[in-house]
Each structure stands twice: as structure tokens, then as C-alpha cells.
A and B are shown apart, each in its own frame.
Chain A
Amino acid sequence: MMTVKRAYSLEACIGAETDLTADTVIRAKGLDLTFQTGDGPVHALSNVDLDIGKGEFVSFIGPSGCGKTTFLRVIADLEQPTGGTITVNGMSPEEARRRRAYGYVFQAAALYPWRTIEKNVALPLEIMGVSAAEQRERVKRTLDLVNLSGFEKKFPWQLSGGMQQRASIARALAFDADLLLMDEPFGALDEIVRDHLNEQLLELWARTNKTICFVTHSIPEAVYLSTKIVVMSPRPGRVTDVIVSTLPKDRPLDIRESPEFLAIAHRVREGLRAGHSYED
């Protein structure tokens, strides 16, 4: 009961905070999504209210089935909500998708195996009808951004898992959308590679000033990366807590041993536990 109360009060103060930032990129109100399955309906999302401002780094964390990926897919117009409203850049997700408002990074790198790395990064540009000269220039720039210069002519299988995932991030960045949706992009990688990519991602975020929505299973990853952490819980999938990070924007890896970091991590863990006790 205690934790639930605090979650409400926290959410209230987040609401106040996001109202101050004029540019809201994503606004969800009472969002519902129910999948009709063979075993009856599954409530993937239930009454989700969330605002995400421009330039924020928002992590979604929660156990399997809490709807964090579903929420990301609703933003991307890959799933249709069954209730409530959601806007992306002030328009419907479909309209935003048509205007190529976001880049999406999947859990698996999902590179096309018959294309070289540069051709994979050029794929969205080809589809969007960018001229060949500009394609070359952008591919070079984005591969530079993810430290993959020199691997242009390699095929995906010739790269390690971490490099493949970096290539897929480059592909999502290539067409310069302001919003980056990342669905557990580092979930399948080992701890060391993951640390490294987390650092690089923060650096990239600082340099490009994009809005990033990031789904993860890992509490340290969520706390390390985010300006805002959305804690979710399953059955029905819902938001139980929204935590604004007090960590500075500049974050060396060893910030993860600081008391401030640990305090936020503790709060996230409490939030996750509250979601579970609700179920029992």
C-alpha cells in the first residue's frame, strides 16, 4: 500500500515536470490494448498515461508480459491500440510512421544477410528515395557515429553480435529521425559488450539530442542510461511507477557505484516488486 501511494505522488510530480517542457513527442492517455488469443483476451496494456518530452531518454522496465515492447510497438504503429489515445509528434502513430518520424532498433539486429553493412544502412535511404550521392555521404557519417568505419563491405555474418547491433543502430539513425525506439537492443549481448555499447549510446544521445525510448530487462542499464524510468508490471500490463533520474547528464561508467545511482536502482526494484505483490 505504501509503495503504491508513493508511486502516485511521484507520477504527480513527473506530470508537473513534463508540463514545463513544451515539446511533447509522445502523449498517451488511457491507452488500452487487448490481444484476442486462442486462450481468451490478453490485456497487454491497460490505462497507460505517459508523456515523453523532446530530448528525453526514457527506459521501460518490467518483467515479461508487462507490455513494454507492446507500448513501443504502438508508438511505431506496429500494433493498434484498442482504447485510449496516443499521439507521436502531435499526430497519430500511423501518420508519424508515414512521415518517417522514428528509427526502430529490434532486439535482434535484423540485418538483411544478403546486404553488406553499408547496403544495410542504406536500406531505409533507398526506400525513402534519397539520392545515391547523399546515401553514400549519410552511410559514411552514421557508420562513423557508431564506430563501424572500415566494415562497409563486410556481410553481417562477418561481424560480432555487438557490431551487428551497432550496424542496426546506424541503420535506424541513417535517415535522421528525431525519435529512436529501441526494443531490448543489447539483451542478447554479453555484459562487457553491453557496458561498452551503453557508454557509446549515451555519447551518441548527447551528440545528436534525439529522443530515445529504450526497453530493457536490466535495472542497472535503465538507471545508467535514462532521464526517466517507466516501471511496468504485467497482467494487465500497466505503468506502476515513473522515476525521474537525478543523475547528471555526463555519466562515466563508475557512476554506477555512487549512492545516488544505487538509490534510484533501489526505487526501481521497489516499483517492480510492488507490481508483483499486486498480482499475489
Chain B
Amino acid sequence: MTDRLRDKIIPVTAILAAIVVAWYAGSYAMNAPFQRDLDRRAGVTSTTWEFVAKTMSQPKPTLPAPHQVAVNFVENTFFRKLSSNRSLVYHAAVTLSSTVLGFAFGTILGIAIAVCIVHVVTLDRSLMPWIITSQTIPILALAPMIIVVLAAVGITGLIPKALISTYLSFFPVAVGMVKGLRSPELTHLDLMHTYHASPGQVFWKLRVPASVPFLFASMKVAVAASLVGAIVGELPTGAVAGIGSKLLSGSYYSQTIDMFAALVAGSVVAVLLVSLVGLAGRITERVMGGRPA
């Protein structure tokens, strides 16, 4: 317990405290000029402490103070009806649904590409450059095109957003799985050869199990990329729901506190997703005889 305290809790708390302190200092520094202006026009004079307090309670601050974001986040997460347009849970759920769908597509696509690359020599030599090129195109430029093209053929709603997530998430899975499917040692492959095993048997009994650790490592990256894709996908669609739309409307109306709260909600979703994939990975590893760490 004391070890845990020393190794984990104290350092993490210390860094967190440092960030909060810096954030407060920053929010004072950035909000002070506007507050000074306000006070001057209203002819109000206040003590230093009163002034500091006012910089941290503006309705539309340049940089909201941590407690303002916290209050907004808690209110909109726990004290709103789920159907309410102000509920962060509602917005997070909308984003989450396209994230998960896009992640599922991306994982399947990534695995399929990796299997092709490993088994077809022509694709091995030709596919990778295209895949890498695809990831160098800024998703912000591509996302509106995907939405517009799909809308033109009558596909709207969840699928286009999910496809943007897919576009970002298949890449780490494909790269990781190519490495994973090629990870068996030479003796393990030779062994299969001595048994006169068919290519299918080599694939299912050797390559697939050997690639599992690589799959989960790349899925962790992919799920985070999926979330980014879903949020980015919500920006150009004029979506009315989702964390992306919350960010967008917040920026239109200078609702900085709302924007920060939405960002926090996004990070919470990201942490949940990455931890879930990590947990699934650990359980699978344990079932497959992994040595406990």
C-alpha cells in the first residue's frame, strides 16, 4: 500500500496539482484584461482578491477556470435528463456510437488488409505505400468530402461519421497485424512444415494466435483514433448532436466553458474506450496462457 502511495499516487497527484495551479494562473492572466476593461467602464474598484475572483467567474471567459469547467461538466453530466440537448451523456453517447461502429469496421478492414498483405506477394509489394499515403491526407480535408459524397448517394446519419473513424482506425490495425501475422519464429513455422500442415492450418493454429498481442496493442491506438475521427466527422456535417457538434456550437457562441466541458467528456470517453480494449487484451492474454506480469 505504501509502495503504491509512493510509486503512483504521490507523483500523479503532484503533477495534477501543478497543472491545476498553472491553469488557474493562466486563466487569471488571460481573463484579467477584459475584466479590467469591464470594471473601468462600470466605474467599479475592487480589492485584489475580489478582482481575482471576478476573473474566474465570467460567463464567457477567454480561458475558463478549472472549477467553472468542473461545475459545468458535473451539472451537464449528472443533473440533466438524458434526452436533453444539454446533457453531455447524450452527446457522448452519440459520438460513442459512431466511434464504436467505425472502430469495428476499422478493425475488420485492418485485419483483412493485413491478411492479404501477408498472403499475397503482389499486395505485399504494392499496398503499403497506398495505405501510408492515405494517412498523410489531413482528415479535416477529407471528412467533408466523405460526408458530401455519401449524402449524394443517400447515405446519411451514423454511417458516414463511422466511416471517417474507420479511415483513421484501420491503419494501426493493418500495420500491427502485418507485424503480428509475421511474428512466428522460424522454428515454429518449420515445425508446421514437418507436419505437412496446410496453409489454412498454419494460419489458424500459428499465425493468428501469435498475432493476438499485436492486435490488442494496435486496437488501443485504433480506438483512440476512432474517437478523434468521430468528433472530426461531427464538425463539417453540421451535426446537431455529439461531442464534435458541442465543440462547434460552443465556438460559435463563445461558450468556452461548454467547450472545455465537452473536451473533458471526450477525454473521459477516450479513457474508457482505451481501458476497455486494454482489459479485453489482458483477459485474452490470460486465457492464452500469458505469464502474469
The chain A residues found within 8 Å of chain B, CB to CB, are: 76-78, 97-98, 100, 102-104, 106, 108, 110, 112-116, 123-124, 126-128, 155-157
Q: When the two chains form their complex, are residues A127 and B291 in contact, meaning their CB atoms are under 8 A apart?
A: no
A77 to B194, CA, bound (A): 8
A96 to B162, CA, bound (A): 53
B236 at the interface (CB under 8 A from A): no
Q: When the two chains form their complex, are residues B190 and A113 in contact, meaning their CB atoms are under 8 A apart?
A: no
A126 to B192, CA, bound (A): 11
Q: Which residue of B lies closest to A107 (CB)?
A: B187
A110 to B212, CA, bound (A): 18
Given A115-B289, A157-B291, check contact A97 B197 (CB 8 Å). Answer: no
Q: Which of B185, B196, B210 has the most CB of A within 10 A?
A: B196
B252 at the interface (CB under 8 A from A): no
Q: When the two chains form their complex, are residues B195 and A124 in contact, meaning their CB atoms are under 8 A apart?
A: yes
Size class of the contact patch on chain B: 20 to 34
Q: When the two chains form their complex, are residues A100 and B196 in contact, meaning their CB atoms are under 8 A apart?
A: yes
Given A114-B288, A127-B201, check contact A108 B187 (CB 8 Å). Answer: yes
Number of A-B contacts (CB under 8 A): 53
Residues on the A chain within 8 Å of B201, using CB: 127
Name 29 A/B residue pairs within 8 A (Cβ), A-sorted.
A76-B194, A77-B194, A78-B190, A78-B193, A78-B194, A97-B193, A97-B194, A98-B196, A100-B196, A102-B194, A103-B194, A104-B190, A104-B194, A106-B187, A106-B190, A110-B187, A110-B188, A112-B188, A112-B209, A114-B212, A114-B289, A116-B289, A123-B205, A124-B195, A126-B205, A127-B201, A127-B205, A155-B289, A157-B291
User: Which residue of A100, A104, A155, A157 is within 8 Å of B191 (Cβ)?
Assistant: A104
Q: Which residue of B lies closest to A129 (CB)?
A: B201
Which 3 A-B pairs give the minimum distances between C-beta atoms? A155-B289, A114-B288, A110-B187
Q: Which residue of B lies closest to A125 (CB)?
A: B195
User: What mask results when residues 135 to 174 of chain B are scored 1 for a CB within 8 Å of chain A, else 0?
Assistant: 0000000000000000000000000000000000000000
Contacting residues of chain B (207-244) with chain A, CB-CB under 8 angstroms: 209-210, 212
A128 to B195, CA, bound (A): 8
Residues on the A chain within 8 Å of B191, using CB: 104, 106, 110
User: Which residue of A78, A106, A112, A156 is within 8 Å of B206 (Cβ)?
Assistant: A112
